[in-house]
Amino acid sequence: MIGYQYTIGNIEIGPVDQPSYVISVASQMVGVHAQTLRYYERIGLLGPARSRGNIRLYSPRDVQRALWIKSLMDDLGMNLAGVEVIMRMSQRMTELQRQVEQLTAQLIESSQREAKMKQSRKGGSPNA
């Protein structure tokens, strides 16, 4: 299996991105009406996969995202516009973190190459 395992509570679900749940099951897991999940999809907050028969299939990541949306609204009193802003900012932060990690790796690699070049110049030069 590709991807890492996902758990909710003590239950191991499976790969985090594997579309697994029809809308009725996902809505029960989240604690909202199925129409609410359809609305979240319509406004772009969720993007479940579709089966060949065009049935929505939610992954554990989709369910977790819906739970986060519900929490932001219920626990923090945010409206959907605020939820959209938070989710966009979170996505942007994740992208920036990936870029920082890539740049850090490139910097380390560059420093190691430079150190090797200096070492080879010292060892290969008769005046060293």
CATH number of the domain where residue 65 is located: 1.10.1660.10
Structural domain of residue 1, as residue ranges? 1-78
Residues 65-81 have pLDDT tens digits of 999 999 999 999 999 99
Is pLDDT at 127 greater than 60 in this prediction? no
Q: Are residues 54 and 19 in the same domain?
A: yes
pLDDT value at position 10?
63
Q: Are residues 9 and 65 in the same domain?
A: yes
Closest by Cα among 68, 74, 62 to 90: 68
Q: How far is CA 50 from CA 19, 23, 57, 91, 107, in A?
A: 8, 11, 6, 23, 41
Q: Are residues 70 and 109 in the same domain?
A: no
Q: What is the residue type of 95?
A: E
Q: Are residues 51 and 9 in the same domain?
A: yes
Q: Rounded to an integer, what distance in angstroms lies between the CA atom of residue 30 and that of residue 38?
A: 13
Our count of domains for the chain comes to 2
Is pLDDT at 20 greater than 80 in this prediction? yes
The rounded mean pLDDT for the chain is 88
Q: Are residues 105 and 124 in the same domain?
A: yes
pLDDT value at position 18?
85
Mean pLDDT of 1-26: 71
Residues 41-61 have pLDDT tens digits of 999 999 999 998 999 999 999
Is pLDDT at 3 greater than 80 in this prediction? no
Is pLDDT at 121 greater than 90 in this prediction? no
